[in-house]
Amino acid sequence: MNRRLILQGVGSSLLLSFWPWRGVQAKNQKLLGYIRTNWSRDPYTYGSYSYIAKGARRSDIRALDRAIDNQVFFAGEAVFPKYNSTVHAAYQSGLRAANSILQGSSNRIAIIGAGMSGLASAQKLSQNDREVTVFEARDRIGGRVWTDNRLGMPLDLGASWIHGINGNPLVDLAEELDQQLIQTEEDYVIRGRDGRKIRERDAPRWLENVVSIQHTAGANKDRINQWAYLFLNDYDGPDVKFADGYAGIFEALKGNYKIKLKTVVKEIQRTQKVVTLGFEKIDNQSFDAVLVTVSLGVLKRGDIKFDPPLPENKQQAIDRLGMGTVDKVYLLFEEQFWDLSASWIATPENDLPPGQFNQWFNLYRYIEKPIITAFNGGLPALALSTLSDEDIVQRALQTICTAYSI
């Protein structure tokens, strides 16, 4: 199996659900709590990260990256020309956009989105004496980097790893803050019904597509332009997690700029002299330039109106590129009962449709807490997004308990 680690409220209509678990329990193991993500239904992302879909090319990313009349700029993991779908792509895209803005004379600059790209840009621009205001729809910064502590320890609900540490600028930021990074391994075990170990050669053929494609790109193999990834030159080296959560990295991006939370931008109107933002609840505001760092999913949904409309090649790029989904379900048990030493656990025999709850990450190995994380990606994740929390947790329990004869 070609193992790769993944790139990156209550009810299924919201992104996040958290409750102490009071439902049906496994016979011999007590579930204390859970966290469920639901990124495809998050109204500020509509997915986890981008991919190059069939019919799209890497040139579409370059079209999306291109500024409009030196007034409207774009940044984000979907916009960086060299590689995408990672936090370091978002970071480098933000710096790239800031450098482009600095080549002009714009002084008052608005940034839409307080994720990695937006904050990296804001810091760079403010360091160069630009007046910067960041508008963020959520009640927090970070975007798809989100660390949650409600199960008693920091758990990353979106991005979880720095992928490839050799030369990766995120490692420099983490070291600047003295953040502890934990190297994770690729080793895995495949468990069938009643806890038996399945040899790799005996695993169902569809399992590799699930763990290597759906959980990496957030989409099915038949939806991806695989040729566009043939000559990808990204950072190498091991992957690492943040011991205290990914969101701590934003301490390194503080600066002399303003952040307006819970402020939804609905329209970007451009004239020869200014760019005016229309908001959901406050009066319009005008700036010399605007940097758009919202997710590709938001651009695809058309939640922000552009007046005049986006250039045809940019809109076509948005339409052709894909937005993938990878969701997690964290389960906190009273004690650990799964494989102690394996980083990854595959569970193909759970009597569920292929792609549902077939891969788990063993957090116990790294933090010595009885937490295990299920991953679902692509079409299976979208199918699960409509289910209730109770249904989701029951499927997770059914799978992990079947694999260990609980």
Ordered DSSP codes for 219-286: S-GGGB-GGGGTT-----S--EEETT-GGGGGGGG--S-EEE-S--EEEEEE-SS-EEEEESSS--EE
Q: Is the C-alpha dihedral spanning 63, 64, 65, 66 positive or negative? A: positive
Residue 142 one-letter amino acid? G
| pLDDT above 90 as % of the chain | 88
pLDDT at position 2 is 32
Q: pLDDT value at position 229? A: 85
Band of residue 259 on the pLDDT scale cut at 50, 70, 90: very high
Q: How do strand 240-242 and strand 188-190 relate by DSSP bridges?
A: unpaired
Q: What is the pLDDT of residues 139-193, one digit of tens each?
A: 999 999 999 999 999 999 999 999 999 999 999 999 999 999 999 999 999 999 9
The whole-number average pLDDT for the span 102-124 is 98
Q: Of 1-10, 165-174, 279-288, which gets the smallest average pLDDT?
A: 1-10
Per-residue confidence band for 19, with pLDDT thresholds at 50, 70 and 90: low
pLDDT of residue 108: 98
Kindly report the pTM of this predicted structure.
0.93
Whether 11 has a pLDDT exceeding 60, the answer reads no
β-partners of residue 73 are 291
Mean predicted confidence (pLDDT) in 67-71 = 97
Confidence at residue 230, expressed as pLDDT on a 0 to 100 scale: 80
pLDDT at 8: 27
The pLDDT assigned to 296 comes to 98
Domains of the chain: 16-44+147-160+183-230+323-403 (3.90.660), 50-143+247-318 (3.50.50.60)
**Residue 21: its pLDDT value, please?**
47
* CA pair distance 204, 208, nearest whole angstrom: 8
pLDDT band at 25 (very low <50, low <70, confident <90, very high): low
pLDDT grade for 27, boundaries at 50, 70 and 90: low
| pLDDT of 12 strictly over 50 | no
Asked whether residue 80 carries a pLDDT value surpassing 80, the answer given is yes
pLDDT value at 3 more than 60: no
pLDDT at 399 over 90: yes
Lowest mean pLDDT among 15-19, 32-36, 297-301: 15-19
List, for residues 208-232, the tens digit of each pLDDT value.
Answer: 999 999 999 999 999 999 898 887 7
Mean local confidence (pLDDT), 337-353: 96
What is the C-alpha to C-alpha distance for residues 324 and 210, in angstroms, rounded to an integer? 13
Best CA proximity match to 391, nearest among 13, 23, 16, 20:
23
Does the structure show a pLDDT above 60 at 44?
yes
What average pLDDT is seen over the chain? 92
Starting from the edge strand earliest in sequence, which strands make up the sheet with 72-74, in order? 72-74, 289-292, 108-112, 131-135, 258-260
Evaluate whether 156 touches 245 at the Cβ level (below 8 Å). Answer: yes
Residue 68, helix vs strand vs coil: strand
pLDDT at 224: 95
> What is the pLDDT averaged over residues 266-294?
96
